[in-house]
Structure 1
Amino acid sequence: MSDATVIVDGHRISYAGPRDSAPEGERPNVSVPVVMPGLWDCHVHFAGVREGASTQEMMLTPAPLATARAVKDAETLLRSGFTSVRDLGGYGVHLAAAVAEGTALGPSIYSANKVISQTGGHSDAHRLPYQSVSDPCRANGMQILADGVDECLKATRLQLREGARVIKVCTSGGVVSELDDPYHRQFSDAELRAIVEEAGRADRAVAAHCHGKKGVLAAVAAGCTTIEHGSQIDEETAAAIKESGAILVPTRTIFAALHANLTMMPPHWRPKVARLAEEHLTSMRVALSAGVPMAAGSDLGLSVPGTPLSFGRNGAEFGHLVAAGMTPLEAIEAGTAAAPLTLGPQAPKTGVLAEGYDADIIALTANPIADISVLARPELISHVWRQGKSVKQEGAHTTAHRGAVDEL
C-alpha cells in the first residue's frame, strides 16, 4: 500500500489502512518510506559469553556478569528492529523483567531459562566434573540435567518456577557440545512426553533442539511445538512435521556463520559443522517443498561485537530463508506474523499491523520486498516502536496538527 497509515493508541494499534479512511484526530505525525511489523527472532541465547559459545564457557561465566552483558545484547537487538525474541536458553527470564519494568531497553523476551538435557547430552558440559553441572538450582549456565521421568518433570517445573515462557529440550546431540553426536537421538519417549505434558498443563510451548531424523521424529511424536534446526529432514520427516502442526525454526544463520569460519572453530566442532551445513540447507528446501510452516530464528548469542555470531546480525536469517526458496514476503512473514505461533497457547497478539494488535512497529529507509538484505542492515532501520513507545528515531520529522495521523 503506497499511502498507508498506522495509528497507535497506547500500546495497541487502533487503525491500519489507507490514509483517506483514517479517523480524524490531533496526534503526532511521523512520515517514513516503509513501515512494517517489528521483527521476531525465535531462537537466540542471552548467555552473556564472549570467548566462545561452548557449554563449558556458559557454565564458567558468572551469572551476574553474563546477565549484565545480555542487557547490551537486548538493546542491540531492539535497535536492529527486533521487538520480540524467544530466548531458548540463557538469562532471558531476568532480562525480561528488567525490560518490562523499564530498567533495561530491549525487545519483549519469551525465555526458556535453562535447556533440559540428559546426562551426557547436548547441553551437558562434558569437560567439567559432573558434580559441578548436575545441581539443578545452580546460578551459572543455561542447562539443566534430567534423567528419567521424575527428573524430567522436576526440571520442567523448575523452569516454570523461574518464570519460563517456553520450555526447551534437546532431543538430539549438537554441535557445540563435545562428545555427543548430532544424529543420535536423546531422551526416551516417556521422558519427552512427561516434559511436553507438564509444559502443556501450564500452557507452555516446547521447543525441541534436534538435528538428526530420529530426534526430529521423537520431538514430533511427543508433541513439541517447534523443531529447532532440523538438519536431517527428508520427505517422510517433513510430512510428519506438517501433520503434527509443529513449526520448523531452521536457524540457517548459525550454520552459515560457522561453516564460513570453520578454521576458527574449536577442533571438535569442525567435523560436525562440515557434515551438517550442506545437509541442513537441503533439509530446509525439502521442508519448504512439503509446506512445513517455518519461523525465523538465528541462534546467535555472542556478547561481543563484530563476529559472525554477534547480536545485531540476526536479520541475516531473512536472506537465508530466501536463498532456501522462500519469497521475500514469505521470509518476512516467518519473522513477523508466523513467529508468535512458536509460543503456542501463550502467543501474543503481535507481528501484524492491524487494529487491536500490539504496536510493535519498525520503519525502514528501503523496501525489504525489493531487497531482503535490508533487514540485515540495522542502519537502514530508522525507527522502532515497541508497544507504542519510540525506542529508536533517526532523523525523524514529527509534527502535531488537527487531522493528522501516525503515518508510519
Structure 2
Amino acid sequence: MPDAVLLLVDGRIAYAGPGVGAPAAAPGEDTLSVPVVMPGMWDCHTHFSGLIDMVSTERMMLTRSEVATARSVADAAVALRAGFTSVRELGGYGVYLAQVVNEGTVPGPSIYAAGRVISQTGGHSDAHSLPYQWATDPQRASGMLHLADGVPECLRAVRLQLRLGAEVIKVCTSGGVISELDHPAHRQFSPDELRAIVEEADRADRVVAAHCHGRAGITAALEAGCRTIEHGTELDEETAAAMRAADAIFVPTRTVFEGFLGLRGKLPPEARRKLEELEARHRAAMSTAVASGVRIALGTDLGTCASGSPLAWGRNGEEFGHLVAAGLSPLQAVEAGTATGPLTLGRRGPRSGRLTEGYDADVLALAANPLDDISMLARPDDITHVWKNGALVKSPAGDHSPRTA
C-alpha cells in the first residue's frame, strides 16, 4: 500500500491504512516517515541453548544452565535487532529468559517457549554417549532435555513443562541428525504415548510441535494431533495431503541444514553421513509442500552464541531466501515469517504478525521493499527501526533500553 499511515497507541495498532482519511497527528505526537513498514518477524523454531561452539546433545546436557541462560541474554538482543520481535523457542532456556524480557529487565523478542524437549530413552534428545543416570538424574535442576517412557511418564513430562510456564510442547517423533545412535527415518514414541502428550497439552490449551524427519514420524505426529511438523525431511505428496487435512503447519528450518553443511568438516562422521543423506531430500520436501499448498511457517533451528557461525542468532532472516527458493513468492515468504507465526501456537496465539487495527504494535521499518529483494531481511542493517509493543527498541540513533523506549 503506497502512502500509508500506521498509528501506534498503547502497544497496539490503532490505524493501518491509506494516508487519505488517516487520523491527524496530535500536537506533540512523535511522527516518522520511512520507506517501508512491515510486521515484526516471527521465527517459529529456535533454541536459546547458550552454546558457543558446535551443537550436540552432550554439550546441551553438560553446559551449566546458569551459564547457558546468561549467554542467551545477548542472543535475545541480537534477535530483536535483526527484526524478530517474536520467537517460538522449541527447547532451551527461553522459558526462563521470557520472564526477564517480559518484565523489561533485558531486551528481547516475545518468547513462546517449550521448556525441555521431550524424548523417549535413546531418542533424538537423549545424550547417548553419556551415562543414563546423568540424563535422568532427578537432582538436575534444569536443562534442555527430558526423557519419558510410557504414558504416565509422558503425562508427567508435559505437566513439568507447563509448570515451568511452557507455551508450547516439543516432542521428538523421529530420530535426528546430531544425535549419535538413532536414525532420522525411525519413528519414536508409541501411538498411546504421543496421544497422551497431545491430549495433556490440549487440556491446557497448548499445542505440540513435533520434531520429525522420516515419513513414519510425520505420519505418527499427524495421527496424534501435533500442530506443527518441524523439519519434515521425507514429506511427500501423501503426507502433504494429510497435513492439509489436519490443518497442520510445516516449519522446514532449511537454515540449519545449510549451516551444518557449511560446518560439515567439524561434524562427527555419523552426523555428517546423516546430514549428507538427508539434505537433498529435505530440499525436495520443501518444494513438495509448497506445490501441495501446505501452510508454512518460517523457522530456522538456530541457537548458538558464536557470532561468526552459520548457526548463530542474528542470521534468522536467511530462511526467507530458502522459502523463496522452494517456490514461495516473496510475499508468501513474508506471510510465513509474520502472519503465520501466531498460528503455530494454536488457541494461545497472540494477535500479532499483521499490520491490522487492534494487533500488537510489533513493527519494522525497512530501507527498501523486501518484495523486490527478499535477501534484505537477512541483513539487520537494512532493518532501520524496530518497535516492539509500540516501543521503539532500534533506530539509526542506536538501540533503546526497554525501560526508557
TM-score by length of 2: 0.96
**Once the 2 structures are TM-superposed, how far is the Cα of residue 138 of structure 1 from its aligned partner?**
2.1
- Report the counterpart of residue 154 of structure 1 in structure 2: 156
**Alignment-mate amino acid for residue 332 of structure 1:** V
Aligned length: 396
Unaligned runs of 5+ in 2: 399-405
2:193 alignment partner, SS class: helix
Q: Provide the C-alpha distance between the structure 2 equivalents of 1:281 and 1:351, rounded to a whole number of angstroms.
A: 26
Deviations 1:160-217 (A, max 9, x none): 0000000000000001111110000000000000000000000001000000000000
- Report the counterpart of residue 222 of structure 1 in structure 2: 224
**Which residues of 2 match residues 326-341 of structure 1 at below 5 A?**
326-341=328-343
- Report the counterpart of residue 313 of structure 2 in structure 1: 311
**Once the 2 structures are TM-superposed, how far is the Cα of residue 4 of structure 1 from its aligned partner?**
0.9
- Report the counterpart of residue 399 of structure 1 in structure 2: none
- Report the counterpart of residue 19 of structure 2 in structure 1: 19
Please say if residues 119 and 147 of structure 1, whose CA atoms lie closer than 8 Å, have aligned partners that are also in contact.
Answer: yes
Name which of structure 1's ranges 157-166 and 261-270 shifts more when overlaid on structure 2.
261-270
Q: Provide the C-alpha distance between the structure 1 equivalents of 2:6 and 2:197, rounded to a whole number of angstroms.
A: 41
- Report the counterpart of residue 5 of structure 2 in structure 1: 5
Q: Provide the C-alpha distance between the structure 2 equivalents of 1:141 and 1:234, rounded to a whole number of angstroms.
A: 34
**Which residues of 2 match residues 98-109 of structure 1 at below 5 A?**
98-109=100-111
Q: Provide the C-alpha distance between the structure 1 equivalents of 2:226 and 2:83, rounded to a whole number of angstroms.
A: 28
Name which of structure 1's ranges 51-60 and 163-172 shifts more when overlaid on structure 2.
51-60
- Report the counterpart of residue 361 of structure 1 in structure 2: 363
**Once the 2 structures are TM-superposed, how far is the Cα of residue 267 of structure 1 from its aligned partner?**
2.0
Kindly tell me: are residues 349 and 137 of structure 1, through their superposed partners in 2, closer, same or farther at Cα, counting changes over 3 Å? Answer: farther
The list of structure 1 runs, each at least 4 consecutive aligned residues, that deviate by more than 6 angstroms after superposition, is none
- Report the counterpart of residue 176 of structure 2 in structure 1: 174
Kindly tell me: are residues 73 and 105 of structure 1, through their superposed partners in 2, closer, same or farther at Cα, counting changes over 3 Å? Answer: same
2:13 alignment partner, SS class: strand
Two-structure CA RMSD over aligned residues (Å): 1.0
1:31 aligns with one of 30, 33, 38: 33
Q: Provide the C-alpha distance between the structure 2 equivalents of 1:137 and 1:281, rounded to a whole number of angstroms.
A: 42
- Report the counterpart of residue 400 of structure 1 in structure 2: none
1:309 alignment partner, SS class: coil
Sequence identity (%): 61
Q: Provide the C-alpha distance between the structure 2 equivalents of 1:37 and 1:362, rounded to a whole number of angstroms.
A: 6
**Alignment-mate amino acid for residue 369 of structure 1:** L
Deviations 1:43-99 (A, max 9, x none): 000010112210100111111100000000000000000000001000011100000
Q: Provide the C-alpha distance between the structure 2 equivalents of 1:47 and 1:296, rounded to a whole number of angstroms.
A: 19
Please say if residues 364 and 381 of structure 1, whose CA atoms lie closer than 8 Å, have aligned partners that are also in contact.
Answer: yes
- Report the counterpart of residue 140 of structure 2 in structure 1: 138
**Once the 2 structures are TM-superposed, how far is the Cα of residue 137 of structure 1 from its aligned partner?**
6.1
- Report the counterpart of residue 405 of structure 1 in structure 2: none
- Report the counterpart of residue 387 of structure 1 in structure 2: 389
**Alignment-mate amino acid for residue 313 of structure 2:** F
1:6 alignment partner, SS class: strand
- Report the counterpart of residue 74 of structure 1 in structure 2: 76
**Alignment-mate amino acid for residue 284 of structure 2:** T
Please say if residues 70 and 303 of structure 1, whose CA atoms lie closer than 8 Å, have aligned partners that are also in contact.
Answer: yes
1:47 alignment partner, SS class: strand
2:303 aligns with one of 297, 301, 312: 301
**Alignment-mate amino acid for residue 365 of structure 2:** A
**Once the 2 structures are TM-superposed, how far is the Cα of residue 20 of structure 1 from its aligned partner?**
1.6
Please say if residues 136 and 145 of structure 1, whose CA atoms lie closer than 8 Å, have aligned partners that are also in contact.
Answer: no
Q: Provide the C-alpha distance between the structure 2 equivalents of 1:383 and 1:14, rounded to a whole number of angstroms.
A: 19
- Report the counterpart of residue 194 of structure 2 in structure 1: 192
**Alignment-mate amino acid for residue 362 of structure 2:** D
- Report the counterpart of residue 128 of structure 2 in structure 1: 126
Deviations 1:285-339 (A, max 9, x none): 1111111100000000011111100000000000000000000000000000111
- Report the counterpart of residue 377 of structure 1 in structure 2: 379
**Which residues of 2 match residues 252-271 of structure 1 at below 5 A?**
252-271=254-273
Please say if residues 60 and 140 of structure 1, whose CA atoms lie closer than 8 Å, have aligned partners that are also in contact.
Answer: no
Please say if residues 25 and 31 of structure 2, whose CA atoms lie closer than 8 Å, have aligned partners that are also in contact.
Answer: no
2:352 alignment partner, SS class: coil
**Once the 2 structures are TM-superposed, how far is the Cα of residue 266 of structure 1 from its aligned partner?**
2.3
- Report the counterpart of residue 91 of structure 2 in structure 1: 89
Q: Provide the C-alpha distance between the structure 1 equivalents of 2:255 and 2:12, rounded to a whole number of angstroms.
A: 32
The structure with higher relative contact order (CA 8 Å, sep 6+) is 1
Q: Provide the C-alpha distance between the structure 2 equivalents of 1:123 and 1:395, rounded to a whole number of angstroms.
A: 43
**Once the 2 structures are TM-superposed, how far is the Cα of residue 141 of structure 1 from its aligned partner?**
2.6
Q: Provide the C-alpha distance between the structure 1 equivalents of 2:206 and 2:138, rounded to a whole number of angstroms.
A: 20
2:261 alignment partner, SS class: helix
Unaligned runs of 5+ in 1: 397-408
Q: Residue 62 in 1 paired to residue 98 in 2?
A: no
- Report the counterpart of residue 286 of structure 2 in structure 1: 284
2:296 alignment partner, SS class: coil
2:124 alignment partner, SS class: coil
1:274 aligns with one of 251, 273, 276: 276
**Once the 2 structures are TM-superposed, how far is the Cα of residue 268 of structure 1 from its aligned partner?**
2.2
Kindly tell me: are residues 79 and 150 of structure 1, through their superposed partners in 2, closer, same or farther at Cα, counting changes over 3 Å? Answer: same
- Report the counterpart of residue 242 of structure 1 in structure 2: 244
**Once the 2 structures are TM-superposed, how far is the Cα of residue 139 of structure 1 from its aligned partner?**
2.9
Q: Provide the C-alpha distance between the structure 1 equivalents of 2:321 and 2:137, rounded to a whole number of angstroms.
A: 41
Deviations 1:238-258 (A, max 9, x none): 111111111000001011121
2:377 alignment partner, SS class: helix
**Alignment-mate amino acid for residue 22 of structure 2:** A
Q: Residue 344 in 1 paired to residue 326 in 2?
A: no
**Alignment-mate amino acid for residue 74 of structure 2:** K
Please say if residues 61 and 140 of structure 1, whose CA atoms lie closer than 8 Å, have aligned partners that are also in contact.
Answer: no
2:270 alignment partner, SS class: coil
Please say if residues 168 and 208 of structure 2, whose CA atoms lie closer than 8 Å, have aligned partners that are also in contact.
Answer: yes
TM-score by length of 1: 0.96
**Alignment-mate amino acid for residue 4 of structure 2:** A
